[in-house]
């Protein structure tokens, strides 16, 4: 056997003992900031081709079936500001499913609301424990951020699974998408949103209603923040008007299963 062949075999042997996350270290970790072109006249929102490619490679979503008048309502819950109970009341009355993406702080400060979300059939997703930029932290901490949320959620509710992740701050990278997918998560971004998170810059329910309805489109994954008083006040009208226009509301589970099942 020639020495080059021997060397090749030795190299392959050594490579077989490398840790499985070696490939993660070579993934692109440039920080990307989620962005999209909002819908106009019910035309589907669009995003950067590179963002779409990365999402598809990692099995993530930012939009649903644009051929159906279906909406997916999601909320980010970093902390409680007194409006989530009203949001849940509206969802119950209107029989609309939603997903709530929670942080560690939210789980510890509003456990009864989290239990109610589960009891009333809503999805609770992972928004990380400390709300860091996921590309900015190492592999071990990224895993801990997600594991701690799931562990605390299970302790509170008895539900031992958590399927969806909303990357904090809308910041992501090829690496963070792949690592979170390896942890068992489907990354969920959004195709409808507006600047609703600043509690000191609320502009009234009419403003929220107009912003949301002007950007509605088939397959929209809607991102709202539950800290917003405007959202809580506008939500009943938004749901009623969307239904009047022929839209229905479905859960993220239905979105994912429609892609998996024939």
Distance of CA 213 to CAs 29, 189, 208, Å?
35, 19, 9
From the candidates 65, 76, 198, 259, which is the catalytic residue?
A: 76
CA atoms of 236 and 89, how far apart (whole Å): 10
Return all residues near 148 (Cβ < 8 A) that are at least 6 apart: 104, 129
Please list the residues that pair with 71 across neighbouring strands: 220, 249
From the candidates 122, 127, 217, 225, which is the catalytic residue?
A: 225
Q: What count of residues does the chain have?
A: 262
Compute the 3-state secondary structure of the chain and give helix, strand, coil in percent, each to the nearest 5: 50, 15, 40
Please list the residues that pair with 77 across neighbouring strands: 102
Are the CB atoms for 110 and 255 separated by under 8 Å? no
Query: Known catalytic residue: 225?
Result: yes
Coil/strand/helix, residue 40: coil
Query: Known catalytic residue: 76?
Result: yes
CA atoms of 188 and 67, how far apart (whole Å): 19
Return all residues near 65 (Cβ < 8 A) that are at least 6 apart: 218, 219, 255, 258
Q: Catalytic site residues?
A: 76, 225
């Amino acid at each position: 056997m020639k020495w080059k062949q021997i060397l090749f075999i030795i190299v392959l042997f050594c490579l077989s003992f490398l840790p499985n996350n070696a490939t993660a270290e070579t993934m692109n970790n440039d920080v990307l900031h989620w962005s999209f072109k909002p819908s106009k006249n019910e035309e589907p929102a669009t995003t950067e081709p590179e963002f779409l490619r990365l999402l598809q490679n990692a099995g993530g979503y930012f939009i649903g079936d644009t051929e159906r008048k279906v909406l997916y309502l999601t909320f980010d819950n970093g902390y409680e500001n007194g409006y989530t109970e009203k949001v849940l009341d509206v969802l119950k009355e209107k029989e609309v499913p939603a997903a709530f993406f929670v942080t560690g702080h939210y789980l510890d400060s509003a456990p009864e609301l989290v239990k109610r979300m589960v009891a009333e059939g809503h999805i609770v997703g992972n928004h990380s424990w400390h709300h860091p930029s996921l590309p900015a932290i190492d592999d071990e901490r990224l895993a801990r951020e997600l594991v701690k949320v799931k562990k605390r959620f299970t302790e509170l509710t008895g539900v031992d699974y958590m399927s969806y992740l909303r990357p904090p701050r809308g910041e992501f990278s090829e690496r963070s998408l792949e690592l979170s997918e390896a942890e068992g998560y489907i990354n969920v971004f959004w195709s409808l949103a507006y600047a609703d998170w600043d509690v000191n810059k609320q502009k009234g329910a009419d403003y929220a209603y107009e912003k949301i309805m002007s950007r509605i489109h088939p397959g929209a994954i809607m991102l709202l923040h539950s800290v917003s008083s405007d959202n809580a006040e506008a939500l009943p009208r938004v749901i009623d008007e969307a239904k009047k226009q022929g839209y229905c509301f479905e859960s993220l589970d239905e979105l994912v299963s429609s892609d998996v099942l024939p």
